[in-house]
């Protein structure tokens, strides 16, 4: 007989263990746990999976917050809550942890959030949620209908509008709403989201709506080692959306979201070692003013653009859209792998807005390095540099030591006129394309150009395409570079 040793930790011991673990990880300062955390079952909550525990939990959180904060412990059990009747208040110096599950009551209808301060603008400094499971019970809420135009229907889990040292860690979350973890305000700083397992589930019959599972607008953010999962049926839009500040996004795994990440106006940030799977778009960089000093490194992105039948698909790109007219400077995109789903039949796509890596925006781009990346089966273009708009300039960009395989893999009529492994367009100054490997392995070749450029109506200054290596299984790709570009090729 195999002996199984079961270790049971009391609430205080578990709390101390959790605090020591998180402090050793260096993820910030936690409110003191002490030796007497408030056990919600000792305060009237049943946790039996049937009793509505909303009032008991609201009372516990209200009393702890009224005393200036403290520690709330959820032992094992399922606590039914009804956010349609009352949200649960949160505050500064609050630690909430345990092994319990909070489940939304069936047919709670529309609600704005589960947890929020009594006053939305109120700061929640030193706030921690850890270890819990929160289940929005989406399929059983047949009376709720989300509309992005009605904030009271957003069905968020958390709404935090101010504060510093905010932690969401080791949680299991089954979410359904607009901006499920919404940490968004002018005084937000020190946000830590780590090792959470998050599943997005849309209610059957719910119309599609814009959503971002994690939404942060603030400074000093750290989103790491989380898993985000969904399905095409659930129509998850974006896993991670972050605005404004500096920080890191690392080690996350995102599966079956339309977009992996939308990153907006960041200043000094790294996006590293993330894995985006079965997406329409991978990592999008948005600028409405200026994005500066951002590194996107060592990420793997796989796109199922054909299965989704999405008209636009990209791995990593500076986003361009009318009304989003910002600039980018000091970008590094290195060591990433972008793989597109193999296409087998013609379909309608949005022409050239389908590429592995794109540096084009309705704004200026300066000082960018694109190196050591691999792009496989881009539908139209492997790497695109520059925007075909005479108002803007792309300058001091180096594209080197990348490998691009079978660019132009889409079968749609007309795309071959502008498909290319590397495309250059718009006003370009001090651009070099060096030591890249361009492989056309399909036979017959579905792509068209190895390089393509468009400078009619624009100005090219000091644009060099040299010492790259091109292979083809069949007919060689055409060279679509214009005459002003400095070219040199090694022996083939």
Closest CA to 52 of 102, 110, 122, 124: 102
Question: How remote is the C-alpha of 69 from its chain's centroid?
Answer: 32
Closest CA to 275 of 321, 323, 224, 319: 224
Task: Please tell me which residue, 119 or 181, carries the higher pLDDT value.
Answer: 181
pLDDT at 18: 52
Residue 25 Cα distances to 18, 183, 196, 453, angstroms: 11, 22, 15, 49
Terminal CA-CA length for the chain? 68
d(CA 259, CA 278) in angstroms, rounded, equals 9
Burial class (CB in 10 A: 0-12, 13-18, 19+), 50: exposed
Q: Is the pLDDT of residue 23 over 70?
A: no
Residue 244 Ramachandran class (φ > 0 left, ψ -120 to 50 alpha, else beta) = left
d(CA 166, CA 148) in angstroms, rounded, equals 26
138 phi and psi angles, rounded to 5 deg: -60, -45
The CATH class for the domain spanning 13-257 reads mainly beta
Average pLDDT, the chain: 91
For the chain, give every domain's residue range. Answer: 13-257, 258-492
Contact 238, 208 (CB under 8 A): no
pLDDT tens by residue, 385-441: 999 999 999 999 999 999 999 999 888 777 878 899 999 999 999 999 999 999 999
- Give the list of residues 6+ apart from residue 66 with CB closer than 8 angstroms, or none: none
Q: For the domain bounded by 258-492, which CATH number is listed?
A: 2.160.20
Find the mean pLDDT for residues 112-126.
93
d(CA 228, CA 237) in angstroms, rounded, equals 12
Give percent of the chain with pLDDT exceeding 70: 92
d(CA 432, CA 413) in angstroms, rounded, equals 31
pLDDT at 5: 30
pLDDT at 417: 80
d(CA 400, CA 437) in angstroms, rounded, equals 9
Q: Is the pLDDT of residue 235 over 90?
A: no
Residue 191 Cα distances to 29, 219, 263, 276, 296, angstroms: 12, 8, 15, 22, 20
Regarding beta strands 88-89 and 101-104, do their DSSP bridges make them parallel or antiparallel, or are they unpaired? unpaired
63 phi and psi angles, rounded to 5 deg: -70, -40
Contact 19, 13 (CB under 8 A): no
Instruction: Say if 13-257 and 258-492 have the same CATH topology.
Output: yes
pLDDT at 325: 86
pLDDT at 491: 42
Contact 309, 336 (CB under 8 A): no
Whats the size of the chain, residue-wise? Answer: 492
pLDDT tens by residue, 362-398: 999 999 999 999 999 999 999 999 999 999 999 999 9
Q: Is the pLDDT of residue 27 over 60?
A: no
Find the mean pLDDT for residues 290-305.
97
pLDDT at 464: 96
Strand partners, 89: 116
């Amino acid at each position: 007989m195999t002996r199984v040793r079961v270790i049971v930790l009391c609430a205080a011991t578990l709390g101390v263990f959790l605090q020591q673990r998180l402090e050793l990880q260096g993820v910030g300062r936690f409110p003191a746990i002490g030796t007497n955390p408030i056990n919600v079952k000792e305060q009237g909550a049943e946790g039996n999976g049937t009793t509505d525990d909303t009032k008991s939990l609201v009372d516990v959180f209200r009393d702890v917050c009224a005393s200036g904060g403290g520690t709330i412990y959820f032992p094992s059990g399922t606590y039914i809550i009804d956010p349609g009747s009352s949200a649960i208040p949160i505050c500064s110096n609050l630690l909430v942890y345990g092994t319990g599950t909070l489940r939304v009551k069936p047919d709670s209808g529309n609600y704005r959030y589960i947890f929020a301060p009594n006053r939305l603008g109120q700061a929640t400094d030193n706030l921690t949620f850890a270890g819990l499971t929160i289940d929005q019970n989406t399929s059983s809420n047949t009376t709720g209908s989300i509309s992005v135009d009605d904030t009271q229907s957003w069905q968020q889990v958390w709404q935090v509008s101010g504060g510093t040292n905010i932690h969401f860690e080791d949680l299991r979350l089954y979410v359904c709403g607009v901006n499920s973890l919404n940490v968004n305000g002018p005084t937000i700083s020190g946000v830590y989201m780590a090792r959470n397992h998050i599943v997005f589930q849309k209610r059957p019959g719910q119309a599609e709506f814009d959503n971002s599972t994690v939404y942060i607008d603030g400074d000093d953010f750290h989103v790491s080692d989380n898993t985000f999962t969904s399905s095409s049926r659930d129509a998850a839009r974006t896993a991670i959306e972050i605005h404004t500040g500096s920080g890191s996004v690392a080690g996350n795994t995102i599966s079956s979201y339309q977009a992996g990440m939308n990153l907006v106006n960041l200043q000094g940030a790294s996006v590293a070692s993330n894995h985006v799977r079965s997406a329409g778009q991978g990592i999008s960089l948005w600028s409405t003013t200026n994005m500066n000093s951002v590194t996107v490194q060592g990420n793997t992105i796989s796109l199922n653009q054909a299965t989704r039948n999405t008209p636009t698909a990209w791995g990593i790109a500076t986003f361009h859209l009318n009304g989003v007219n910002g600039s980018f400077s000091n970008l590094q995109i290195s060591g990433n792998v972008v793989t597109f789903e193999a296409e087998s039949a013609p379909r309608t796509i949005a022409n050239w807005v389908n590429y592995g890596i794109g540096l084009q925006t309705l704004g200026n781009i300066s000082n960018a390095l694109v190196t050591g990346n691999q792009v496989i089966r881009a539908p139209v273009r492997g790497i695109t540099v520059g925007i075909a708009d005479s108002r803007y300039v792309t300058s001091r960009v180096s594209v080197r030591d990348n490998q691009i395989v079978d660019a132009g893999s889409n079968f749609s009529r007309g795309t071959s006129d502008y498909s290319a492994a590397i495309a250059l367009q718009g006003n370009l100054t001090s651009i070099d394309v060096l030591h890249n490997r361009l492989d056309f392995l399909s036979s017959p070749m579905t792509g068209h150009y190895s390089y393509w450029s468009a400078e009619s109506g624009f100005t090219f200054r000091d644009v060099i395409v040299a010492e790259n290596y091109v292979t083809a299984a069949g007919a060689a790709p055409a060279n679509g570079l214009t005459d002003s570009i400095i070219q040199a090729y090694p022996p083939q």
